[in-house]
Amino acid sequence: MTFRLRIRPQAEAETAAAAEWYEAHRQGLGAEFVAVVDAALAEIERRPQKHPLWRAGYPYRRRSLRRFPYTIFYRIESDDIVVVAVAHSRRRPGHFIEP
Protein backbone atom coordinates (compact mmCIF):
# COMPACT_ATOMS: atom_id res chain seq x y z
CA MET A 1 0.00 0.00 0.00
CA THR A 2 1.25 3.46 -0.87
CA PHE A 3 0.72 6.28 1.58
CA ARG A 4 0.73 10.01 0.93
CA LEU A 5 2.61 12.10 3.49
CA ARG A 6 0.90 15.30 4.64
CA ILE A 7 2.59 17.65 7.07
CA ARG A 8 0.41 20.02 9.08
CA PRO A 9 1.53 23.67 9.06
CA GLN A 10 2.21 23.56 12.81
CA ALA A 11 4.61 20.64 12.36
CA GLU A 12 6.39 22.52 9.55
CA ALA A 13 6.65 25.60 11.78
CA GLU A 14 8.05 23.54 14.69
CA THR A 15 10.66 22.02 12.39
CA ALA A 16 11.68 25.41 10.98
CA ALA A 17 11.90 26.99 14.45
CA ALA A 18 14.05 24.15 15.76
CA ALA A 19 16.32 24.30 12.70
CA GLU A 20 16.78 28.05 13.19
CA TRP A 21 17.58 27.56 16.87
CA TYR A 22 20.17 24.87 16.14
CA GLU A 23 21.69 26.91 13.32
CA ALA A 24 22.04 29.92 15.65
CA HIS A 25 23.98 27.77 18.09
CA ARG A 26 26.28 26.12 15.56
CA GLN A 27 26.60 26.68 11.85
CA GLY A 28 25.35 23.66 9.92
CA LEU A 29 23.53 22.10 12.86
CA GLY A 30 20.15 23.37 11.63
CA ALA A 31 20.71 21.63 8.29
CA GLU A 32 21.68 18.45 10.13
CA PHE A 33 18.44 18.63 12.13
CA VAL A 34 16.38 19.01 8.95
CA ALA A 35 18.22 16.05 7.36
CA VAL A 36 17.43 13.86 10.38
CA VAL A 37 13.76 14.90 10.27
CA ASP A 38 13.60 14.23 6.51
CA ALA A 39 15.13 10.76 6.96
CA ALA A 40 12.64 9.94 9.72
CA LEU A 41 9.74 11.13 7.56
CA ALA A 42 10.94 8.94 4.69
CA GLU A 43 11.03 5.95 7.05
CA ILE A 44 7.54 6.76 8.36
CA GLU A 45 6.27 6.99 4.78
CA ARG A 46 7.72 3.55 3.95
CA ARG A 47 6.50 1.80 7.11
CA PRO A 48 3.97 3.93 8.98
CA GLN A 49 2.74 1.17 11.27
CA LYS A 50 6.24 0.33 12.49
CA HIS A 51 6.20 2.95 15.23
CA PRO A 52 4.20 2.59 18.44
CA LEU A 53 1.02 4.36 19.36
CA TRP A 54 1.62 7.38 21.57
CA ARG A 55 -1.01 6.52 24.18
CA ALA A 56 -3.93 4.13 24.39
CA GLY A 57 -7.10 5.69 23.08
CA TYR A 58 -5.32 8.13 20.75
CA PRO A 59 -4.66 7.59 17.02
CA TYR A 60 -1.18 9.16 17.11
CA ARG A 61 2.03 7.26 16.54
CA ARG A 62 5.45 8.51 17.53
CA ARG A 63 8.88 8.34 15.99
CA SER A 64 11.71 9.68 18.17
CA LEU A 65 14.74 11.22 16.52
CA ARG A 66 18.06 9.67 17.44
CA ARG A 67 20.38 12.66 17.54
CA PHE A 68 18.02 15.40 18.63
CA PRO A 69 15.50 15.46 21.53
CA TYR A 70 12.47 15.61 19.22
CA THR A 71 9.61 13.27 18.41
CA ILE A 72 7.50 13.18 15.27
CA PHE A 73 3.82 12.56 16.00
CA TYR A 74 1.58 11.34 13.19
CA ARG A 75 -1.63 9.51 12.49
CA ILE A 76 -2.69 7.23 9.66
CA GLU A 77 -5.89 8.19 7.82
CA SER A 78 -6.80 5.78 5.01
CA ASP A 79 -4.05 6.36 2.44
CA ASP A 80 -2.58 9.39 4.20
CA ILE A 81 0.01 9.83 6.89
CA VAL A 82 -0.66 13.12 8.65
CA VAL A 83 2.27 14.56 10.60
CA VAL A 84 0.76 16.68 13.37
CA ALA A 85 3.86 17.67 15.35
CA VAL A 86 7.63 17.68 15.45
CA ALA A 87 7.86 18.28 19.17
CA HIS A 88 10.72 18.82 21.59
CA SER A 89 10.77 16.01 24.15
CA ARG A 90 10.33 18.47 27.03
CA ARG A 91 7.32 20.22 25.56
CA ARG A 92 3.91 19.71 27.17
CA PRO A 93 2.74 16.22 26.13
CA GLY A 94 -0.24 16.24 23.82
CA HIS A 95 0.05 19.88 22.76
CA PHE A 96 -0.70 18.73 19.23
CA ILE A 97 -4.02 16.99 19.91
CA GLU A 98 -6.68 18.34 17.62
CA PRO A 99 -10.20 18.80 18.99
Q: Is residue 95 part of a domain?
A: no
* Contacts of 71-78 spanning 24+ positions with Cβ under 8 A: 72/11, 72/37, 72/40, 72/41, 72/44, 74/44, 74/48, 76/3, 76/48, 76/49
For residue 96, tell me if it sits in a domain. no
Domain count for the chain, please give it: 1
Q: How far apart are CA 65 and CA 54, in angstroms?
A: 15
Q: Indicate whether 97 belongs to any domain.
A: no
CA distance 29 to 38: 14
21-43 pLDDT tens trace:
999 999 999 999 999 999 999 99
77 vs 1, residue with greater confidence = 77
Return the CATH number at 72. 3.30.2310.20
Q: Is residue 71 assigned to a domain?
A: yes
Q: pLDDT tens-digit profile of 38-94?
A: 999 999 999 999 999 998 888 999 999 999 999 999 999 989 999 999 999 887 666
- Residue 13, domain extent: 4-88
- Whether residue 64 is contained in a domain is answered as yes
